[in-house]
Amino acid sequence: MPAKTIIFDFGGVLVDWNPRYLYKKIFSSETEMEWFLSNVCTPEWNQAMDAGKPFAEGIAELCERFPGWEAQIHAFYERWPEMLGGEITSSVGILSELKAGGYRIYGLTNWSAETIPLAYSRFGFFQQLDGIVVSGEEKVIKPDPEIFRILLKRYHLKPEDCIFIDDN
């Protein structure tokens, strides 16, 4: 029997999120921007916020470790909406077609609890979802099996009935 439930990740699947959209406006050279994103506001640091760490705490720690970069570090949260490039229209179109075809549609994402409301307010497709699990709210991130168990239990889903669409 084919899957009845489709679960979408958000970043890289439904939403084009990239810190470079913001930091290209801040830094005068791509080399400096890439150094900053590889050494200061790293993907691993951002993942801590996706796992539930408050931005205020994460920013304070980085400002202490990297004095002189405070404005650029603060921009990560203060100007976070500028990292959103828009919805990925082809994927959102597929989501809408599946929903219209009677599939149950859910979201499972590594995303900060502090910034997900900004994404919800910007993108109307979230209203089509039957349920959403956000890592920052649950304090556990993919690929930890626990976040998948949370989704399955909360929405009474059977794994054998589900397909998960992720960018990684």
**Dist. CA 30–CA 97, nearest whole Å:** 39
Confidence (pLDDT) at 160? 94
Stated pTM of the model:
0.94
Closest CA to 41 of 7, 79, 13: 79
Pairing of strands 15-17, 84-87: antiparallel
Confidence (pLDDT) at 168? 82
Q: How confident is the model at residue 1 (pLDDT cuts 50, 70, 90)?
A: low
Residue 166 identity (one-letter amino acid): D
Average pLDDT value over all residues in the chain: 96
Asked whether residue 86 carries a pLDDT value surpassing 80, the answer given is yes
**Cβ distance 42 to 142 under 8 Å?**
no
pLDDT tens digits for range 57-69: 999 999 999 999 9
pLDDT tens digits for range 119-134: 999 999 999 999 999 9
pLDDT tens digits for range 92-104: 999 999 999 999 9
**Dist. CA 116–CA 120, nearest whole Å:** 6
Confidence (pLDDT) at 2? 63
pLDDT tens digits for range 35-78: 999 999 999 999 999 999 999 999 999 999 999 999 999 999 99
> Running DSSP on this structure, what letter comes out for residue 29?
S
Which residue stretches of the chain are H helix?
20-26, 30-39, 43-50, 55-65, 70-78, 89-100, 116-122, 135-138, 145-154
Confidence (pLDDT) at 96? 97
**Dist. CA 138–CA 113, nearest whole Å:** 9
Closest CA to 109 of 98, 122, 120: 120
84 three-class SS: strand
Copy the structure tokens of residue 86: 């828009």
Q: How confident is the model at residue 27 (pLDDT cuts 50, 70, 90)?
A: very high
